[in-house]
Amino acid sequence: MSAVTVKGLKKTYGKVEAVKGVDFEVRPGEVFGFLGPNGAGKTTTISMLCTLVNPTGGSASVAGHDVVRERDQVRRNIGLVFQDPTLDGYLTAEQNLRFHAELYGVPKQLVGDRIRQVMEMVALWDRKDAKVMTFSGGMKRRLEIARGLLHSPRVLFLDEPTVGLDPQTRSAIWGYINKLRHKEDITIFMTTHYMDEAEYCDRIAIIDHGEIVVIDSPEALKASVGKDRVQIHTGDDARAIAALQERFGLEAAVHEGAVTFAVASGEEFVPRLFAELGLPIKAVSVSRPSLDDVFMSYTGSTIRDAESGSGNEWMKAMARR
Ligand SMILES: Nc1ncnc2c1ncn2[C@@H]1O[C@H](COP(=O)(O)OP(=O)(O)OP(=O)(O)O)[C@@H](O)[C@H]1O
């Protein structure tokens, strides 16, 4: 049985179609990621799965329970870590967890051990008696993860678990998530707009404008792009772009300060480039497709461009592959 099953799930807010009928399944024990820019519909989807928002159409079940008809059963089986912290700053870390354990009916004789276990997992046990208002943003997020796990949920939902945190804390949080998947029998559903974090997922669904564009493992998605990114530095970018078009039929554009284009086997192409371009090349770099390229290839823009609302010509050229 799938941990999460979603069929034609839809949510509209007035005229805004936040989620336009998505279908997917999450396997038990999987780390499944929703990757998309701000406003793509990630939070709306996760909120429907967590029974916090009612779908406009379609259906979804989590841990075998329907998110509309069996809300209580769904809630008992899930843990939530959302973007906005909901900890009580005036209580200590441990008191916050005890309060949650009571809400979720964790048996009294188990609470103490379980609190210690989850706090140790996120390396906060030695701070259990400190008031949460004295915690850094990263410590609060770690405590939220511990709290989300306290009642041993079957599925843990993480909405942008590392947003706003420094790189070191982000990587520590990923360390805890990885530890968690080995220690506990749990499925993790997370959203992110960080490409590097999507790499940690077993499978990702790329979501854009309320629709799922593609679902697969990060490796398979990168392989599907099938082209390498080549960047060259020349003394005359405009001439280089024109020459690439004329001699090789390649569409190139200046991106991150370098003339950039995509070809099937970048390394094999480089010698031809030097021999036939007809103007001096100062530097060249070839890179394998990243998830950035995957996103661009399926949606026609980078996640950053999608968030700022602007397009980028070379991205679009690459998407027209
Ligand atoms: N309560 C609401 N009322 C009206 N519109 C909403 C509401 N919640 C979300 N939306 C709209 O639905 C769309 C999807 O928003 P959603 O928050 O799901 O995106 P997201 O991918 O999670 O982005 P972010 O990472 O910024 O939260 C956006 O256009 C947003 O403005």
Alpha-helical (H) ranges within the chain are 42-49, 71-76, 93-103, 108-121, 137-149, 167-183, 195-198, 218-225, 237-248, 266-276, 291-299, 303-308, 313-319
Ligand 1 surroundings by CB, under 6 angstroms: 13, 16, 18, 36, 38-44
Ligand 1 probe mutation, 15, 22, 44, most atoms within 8 A of CB: 44
Cα(142) to centroid of ligand 1, in Å?
A: 25
Tokens representing residue 269 in the block: 């192409």
Residue nearest to atom 3 of ligand 1 (CA): 13
Cα(201) to centroid of ligand 1, in Å?
A: 23
Ligand 1 probe mutation, 9, 10, 12, 13, most atoms within 8 A of CB: 13
Architecture in CATH of 222-319: 2-Layer Sandwich (3.30)
Cα(300) to centroid of ligand 1, in Å?
A: 21
pLDDT at 37: 85
| 4-217 and 222-319 in the same fold | no
What is the domain partition of the chain in residue ranges? 4-217, 222-319
Indicate the CATH number for domain 4-217.
Answer: 3.40.50.300
Closest ligand 1 atom to 19 CA: 14
Tell me the pLDDT tens digit for each residue of 8-62. 999 999 999 999 999 999 999 999 999 988 889 999 999 999 999 999 999 999 9
> 275 Cβ partners below 8 Å, 6+ apart?
none
* Phi-psi category of residue 184: left, alpha or beta, with phi > 0 → left and psi -120 to 50 → alpha: beta
Tell me the pLDDT tens digit for each residue of 187-241. 999 998 888 888 889 999 999 999 999 999 999 998 888 888 899 999 899 999 9
Cα(1) to centroid of ligand 1, in Å?
A: 30
Cα(41) to centroid of ligand 1, in Å?
A: 6
User: What is the value of pTM for the model shown?
Assistant: 0.83
- Number of Cβ within a 10 Å radius of residue 257: 9
pLDDT at 127: 96
Indicate the SS3 state at residue 161. coil
Tell me the pLDDT tens digit for each residue of 129-176. 999 999 998 899 899 999 999 998 999 999 988 887 888 888 888 888
Q: What is the mean pLDDT of residues 122-126?
A: 92
Q: What is the DSSP string of 291-318?
A: HHHHHHHHHSS-HHHHHHT---HHHHHH
Taking the C-alpha atoms of residue 218 and residue 291, their distance in angstroms, rounded to an integer, is 7
Cα(56) to centroid of ligand 1, in Å?
A: 14
Q: What is the DSSP string of 206-239?
A: EEETTEEEEEE-HHHHHHHH--EEEEEEES-HHH
Is residue 289 within 8 A of residue 228, CB to CB? The reply is: yes
Pairing of strands 187-192, 31-35: parallel
Indicate the SS3 state at residue 201. coil
> 253 Cβ partners below 8 Å, 6+ apart?
241, 259, 260, 261, 312, 313, 314, 317
Strand order of the sheet with strand 228-234? 253-255, 258-263, 228-234, 281-287
Name the strand (E) or helix (H) holding 190. strand 187-192
Closest ligand 1 atom to 44 CA: 18
Taking the C-alpha atoms of residue 174 and residue 165, their distance in angstroms, rounded to an integer, is 12
First-to-final CA distance of the chain: 38
Residue nearest to atom 25 of ligand 1 (CA): 38
Closest ligand 1 atom to 47 CA: 18
The DSSP letter of residue 187 is: E
